Amino acid sequence: MAFARVALAVPLRRLFDYKIQPDTQPQIGCRVLVPFGRNKVVGIVIDLTETSDFDNNKIKPIIEVLDRQALFSAELMKMKHWMVNYYLCPPGEVFVNLLPKRLKEGKPAKLLAETIWQTVEHADPVPTKAKQQFAMHQFLSQNGPTSESLLKQDGFSKQIINFLEKRGAIQPAEIDYSERKPVKITTPEVSLTEEQNIAIKEFRAVQGFATFLLEGVTGSGKTEVYMRLMADVLQNGQQVLILVPEIGLTPQTLQRFQARFNCEIVALHSELNDSERHNAWLKSQMGVARVIVGTRSAVMVPAPDLGLIILDEEHDASYKQLDGLRYNARDVAVKRAADNKCKVILGSATPALETVLNAKQNKYKHLKLTQRATATKVPKIEVLDIKHQPLKAGLCYGTIEAIKHHLSNNNQVLVFLNRRGYSPALICHECGWVCKCERCDNHFTFHKALRQIVCHHCGEAAPPPHQCHDCGSTQIVDVGIGTEQVFDWLNETFPEANAIRIDRDSVRRKGELENKLAAVAEGKHQLLVGTQMLAKGHHFPNLTLTVVVNLDSALYSADYRAAERMAQLLVQVAGRAGRSEKAGQVILQTHFPDHSYIQTLITQGYQKLQTKLLEERKQMMLPPYQYWTIIRLEAQMLEKVQQASQQIEHLFNQHIVKHYTNVELFAAMPAPKEKRAGRFRYLLVFQSDKRSMLNAAISQLVISLEQNQFSQQVRWTVDIDPQEFN
């Protein structure tokens, strides 16, 4: 072979040819070091050819072949090609950018030395009084040698490790990864419910590739189902990949897997440092790790013996990447399972409409858990009409009384509000001037404790104004409610409840969230105020009341997905209440108690609302009945985006649409948030009921756009299957 075609981490939708040096044999899927401009860069060999379309004399040689063996299997290479073609992205995004940093820098694909801890036999017992040390020691004696990195992700700090070592209770261990030990599986404590049994049977009855939607109400024991199915695959000598929306939020999930499966487990997520990620990625790639728990991008981690993919909370918005490579990990997971001829489970209490439609059309097999696994029932949502009611920090009398009641019974209360800060706007009491971020044309949010106003779109922050910018009045007042305000009021009113606030402002430092959640679990706080962060995955046995302060804006949003999102969020937060013996209560405050979405959800449940929303989408010809692609335009000057939008419209109508009659330009318009961070934004929405047609048409369009002269001043991006209408 004379030439290698190489993917490089550059924003160009093409590959680059390099000469292969004599006596070197790069393989497809290997890293190579090549000259690019004045630099040397690391790329991945995509193809080997005898000929090149470029002037052969100008083609430079490969400097060095970095890997003897391919980093990616043939199946994974195939899937990556699919991603490049489907998401119409530069190949480097998929082939190079997803590598751990050290591999991207060309360092050897070898495991780095790491510290592994094990208990010391016959050591003095760790006193139970040293709670955390005791817990970690117990954890280690149950689970066997565990890497320091994983221990930290389980919520044990370096300090605890140091204490235990000083005490002589733990010591470093060595693990020989070349030896593949069979996975030891702890016998489960619970016996399955009938519904769990049926789901498992149906799953096992299918051979080869299949996609399953496991729709189970909150607390129905989906995780238990996952673990039983994982056991099958692990015993069979295969690897399992489990994707979750966030790992930091729920260290207990990781601990549950470790407690059940005694084998090498790795976690892959954004909070790892470079060497931790390097090792976790390589352990998966080498087949050392048998269970890989990860967030979005882990969907593409190499795993030679992959036997099952599980994607938990499949409706979660975090599976879709919103910049750079705009892929949806859920769709990639299904594709990957198909290529790999294995099964994939999408689990959720509130599945996304597109997944539900796939299940209705029998593309996915639908497994259902309609009851909680424990004796408790999913609490009913009570609607409180707050029209004309006096509110204290956004809370009405009925809500406050309920909070009092639950607190006096020594239970925990969760107050949920999807808005950070003290209040979402500052205005002038005299003339109505609104304090706005000029770069975004968006209200500044007032953060009282920080003494700042912050734009939640671009992050711009400033001290709050003393005077109105229009009339000079000093009467600046805040309007609307954020978590900080609710928290302040509750804290003053119920001081003995030791309220805690959990949102992105209050948990900034690493480990802070884990500590706060642990304190809640230990019962140190009776009142929790927070955002999305508190909505999912947590299991607080003493929590009996959930209050949803306000979700009204979702009922009248420009984004057609807002109602679906609202319902999902509501069901998830509601599901936090009454998870143990004690019955739960959920209060939803609203100005629109009779709104048909709310009524359907409350009286007939999420599934009925799903059906209703699906019917609406069908009538209005919206996704998931249509496929969408959005091309977003952005420029410093409004005229530039407008011109570009017209040009693209013209290009599409004149040259492209005739070949793809099923594809239409649905809208070309300013984005609902037209200005962001000083740039004007436009959207072009294309749609079709044929996915492949839409893809082919947009692919044509993208080729033309790449050659277009406006691309210097106007930034454009392609978003296939967008999740946000913005």
89 marked as part of a ligand binding site: no
Report what 458 binds from ligand ATP, Zn ion, none; CB cut-off 5-8 Å by kind. Answer: Zn ion
Closer by beta carbon to ligand ATP, 287 or else 578: 578
Quick one: 114 or 460, whose CB is closer to Zn ion?
460
Separation of alpha carbons 395 and 392, rounded Å: 5
Other beta carbons within 10 angstroms of residue 335's beta carbon come to: 17
* Near ligand ATP by CB under 6 A: residue from 133, 146, 223, 285: 223
Residue nearest to ligand ATP (CB): 221
For Zn ion, the binding residue among 59, 173, 458, 651 (CB under 5 A) is: 458
Look at residue 196 and give the partner it binds from ligand ATP, Zn ion, none, a contact being a CB closer than 5 to 8 Å depending on partner kind.
ligand ATP
For residue 530, the number of C-alpha atoms closer than 13 Å in the C-beta half-sphere is 26
Q: Which helix (H) or strand (E) holds 614?
A: helix 606-619
By beta-carbon proximity to ligand ATP, the closer residue of 225 and 440 is 225
Residue 420 Cβ, how far from ligand ATP at the closest point, in Å? Answer: 24
Q: Which of 29, 92, 221, 294 binds ligand ATP (CB under 6 A)?
A: 221
Three-class DSSP category at 347: strand
Q: Which of residues 323-352 bind ligand ATP (CB under 6 A)?
A: 349
Number of residues that bind ligand ATP (CB under 6 A): 17
Six-digit token string for 15:
């590959």
Nearest to 422 by CA among 390, 397, 453, 460: 453
Based on the shown chain and the rule CB under 5 A, indicate whether residue 440 belongs to the binding site for Zn ion.
yes
Say how far apart CA 2 and CA 48 lie, in whole Å: 7
Least distance from C-beta 641 to Zn ion, angstroms? 18
Q: Single out the segment in contact with Zn ion by CB under 5 A; choices: 54-62, 153-161, 280-288, 432-440.
A: 432-440
In angstroms, give the least distance from the CB of 442 to Zn ion.
5
- Toward Zn ion, which CB reaches closer, 283 or 676? 676
> Residue 483, exposed/middle/buried by CB under 10 A (0-12, 13-18, 19+)?
buried
Closer CB to Zn ion, 439 or 612, in the complex? 439
Looking only at residues 179 through 218 of this chain, which bind ligand ATP when binding is defined by CB under 6 A?
190, 192-193, 196, 216, 218
| Closest to 19 in 3D by CA, of 56, 68, 72, 67 | 56
Binding mask of the shown chain, residues 525 to 564, with x at each position contacting ligand ATP by CB under 6 A: ------------x---------------------------
The option from ligand ATP, Zn ion, none interacting with 460 (CB < 5 to 8 A, set by class) reads Zn ion
Per-residue burial over 650-685, b = 16 or more CB atoms within 10 Å of its CB, e = otherwise: ebbeeebbeebeebbbbebebbeebbbeebbbbbbb
Q: Is 437 in the site for Zn ion (CB under 5 A)?
A: yes
- Encode 487-520: b = buried (16+ Cβ within 10 Å), e = exposed: bbbbbebbeebebbbbbebbbeeeeebbebbeeb
Q: Verify binding: residue 260, ligand ATP, rule CB under 6 A.
A: no
Decide: is 219 part of the binding site for ligand ATP (CB under 6 A). Answer: yes
Total of residues contacting Zn ion (CB under 5 A): 7
Give 125: exposed, middle or buried? Use CB within 10 Å, 0-12, 13-18, 19+: exposed
263 is in an annotated binding site: no
Q: CA torsion 399→554→352→621, rounded to 10°?
A: 150
Q: Which does 219 bind (CB under 5 to 8 A by kind): Zn ion, ligand ATP, none?
A: ligand ATP
Residue 431 among known ligand-binding residues: yes
Confirm if 626 and 689 have CB atoms less than 8 A apart.
yes
Q: Is 396 annotated as a binding residue?
A: no
Query: Strands 412-416, 436-437: parallel, antiparallel or unpaired by DSSP?
Result: unpaired
Q: Is 256 exposed, middle or buried (0-12, 13-18, 19+ CB in 10 A)?
A: middle
The residue among 405 and 439 lying less far from Zn ion, judged by its C-beta, is 439
For the bound state, the minimum distance from the C-beta of residue 264 to ligand ATP, rounded and expressed in Å, comes to: 23
Amino acid identity of residue 21, one-letter, is Q
R_g over Cα of the chain: 27
Least CB distance from residue 678 to Zn ion, whole Å?
8
Using alpha carbons, select from 368, 146, 179 the residue that is nearest to residue 257.
Answer: 146
Nearest approach, Cβ of residue 422 and Zn ion (Å): 18
Among ligand ATP, Zn ion, none, residue 439 binds (CB under 5-8 Å by kind) = Zn ion
**CB 458, min distance to Zn ion, A:** 3
In whole angstroms, give the CA distance from residue 310 to residue 351.
Answer: 14
Q: Is 440 flagged in the annotation as binding? A: yes
Binders of ligand ATP among residues 573 to 632 (CB under 6 A) are 575
Whether residue 321 contacts residue 296, with contact meaning beta carbons closer than 8 Å, is answered with yes
Is 437 annotated as ligand-binding?
A: yes
Please choose, out of 175-183, 193-201, 430-438, 540-548, the segment that lies near Zn ion by the rule CB under 5 A: 430-438
CB of 445 to Zn ion, least distance (A): 10
Q: Which of 157, 186, 275, 374 binds ligand ATP (CB under 6 A)?
A: 374
Cα torsion for 98, 104, 110, 113, to the nearest 10°?
Answer: -90
373 forms part of the interface with ligand ATP (CB under 6 A) = yes
Task: Say how far apart CA 443 and CA 438 lie, in whole Å.
Answer: 9
Task: Compute the distance between CA of residue 330 and CA of residue 323 in angstroms, rounded to an integer.
Answer: 16
Of the pair 368, 448, the CB lying nearest ligand ATP is at 368
Residue window 382-421: x/- pattern of binding to Zn ion, with contact defined by CB under 5 A:
----------------------------------------
457 touches Zn ion (CB under 5 A): yes
Applying CB under 6 A, which part among 71-79, 221-229, 281-289, 416-424 lies near ligand ATP?
221-229
Element housing 42 (H / E): strand 39-49
**CB under 5 to 8 A by kind: which of ligand ATP, Zn ion, none does 457 bind?**
Zn ion
Window 632 to 671, contacts with ligand ATP (CB under 6 A): none
Select the span of 135-143, 390-398, 451-459, 515-523 touching Zn ion (CB under 5 A): 451-459
Please say which residue, 297 or 445, places its beta carbon nearer to Zn ion. Answer: 445
For helices 596-604 and 606-619, what crossing angle results, to 10°? 140
Within 13 A of 327's CA, how many CA atoms are on the CB side?
27
Name the residue nearer to ligand ATP (CB basis): 224 or 246. Answer: 224
CA-based torsion, 644, 646, 647, 648: positive or negative:
positive
What is the residue type of 155? G
Q: Which does 193 bind (CB under 5 to 8 A by kind): ligand ATP, Zn ion, none?
A: ligand ATP
CA distance 86 to 668: 22
Number of Cα atoms under 13 Å in the Cβ half of residue 655: 13
Name the residues that contact Zn ion, by CB under 5 A: 437, 439-440, 455, 457-458, 460
Name the residues that contact ligand ATP, by CB under 6 A: 190, 192-193, 196, 216, 218-224, 349, 373-374, 537, 575
Binding residues: 428, 431, 437, 440, 455, 458, 468, 471
Binding residues for Zn(2+): 428, 431, 437, 440, 455, 458, 468, 471
